[in-house]
Amino acid sequence: MAGVLAAFEAYQKSPKVADQWKARVRARLGLEVAQERANGTTQDAIAERLGRTREQVRRYEEAYREWTRAHPGDDLHTQDELA
């Protein structure tokens, strides 16, 4: 029964873990957008390539800035990502 209880606990935590992972990956996208913009690519060009609006691209960058404020020193490139 211990295995069932442990698996059930993990199952109950999964939405929170998934949300945390998604926020981190979104921040990584924002980092990549910020770096591309620093290289001179416009928000419009990035939005067109991603099939998103300019506002969505701006929000990706904002997600990156918010992540860095909440997680100082976190290198978004160091953690393995799910495929």
Quick check: 75 pLDDT over 90? no
- Tally the domains of the chain: 1
**Domain residue limits at 62:** 19-70
DSSP letter at 51? T
52 domain residue, yes or no? yes
* Gyration radius of the chain over CA positions: 17
Quick check: 49 pLDDT over 80? yes
Give, for 21, the enclosing helix (H) or strand (E): helix 2-38
Which burial class, exposed, middle or buried, applies to 44 when counting CB atoms under 10 A from its CB (0-12, 13-18, 19+)? exposed
75 domain residue, yes or no? no
Mean of all residue pLDDT scores within the chain: 92
28 domain residue, yes or no? yes
What pLDDT shows up at residue 83? 45
26 domain residue, yes or no? yes
What pLDDT shows up at residue 74? 85
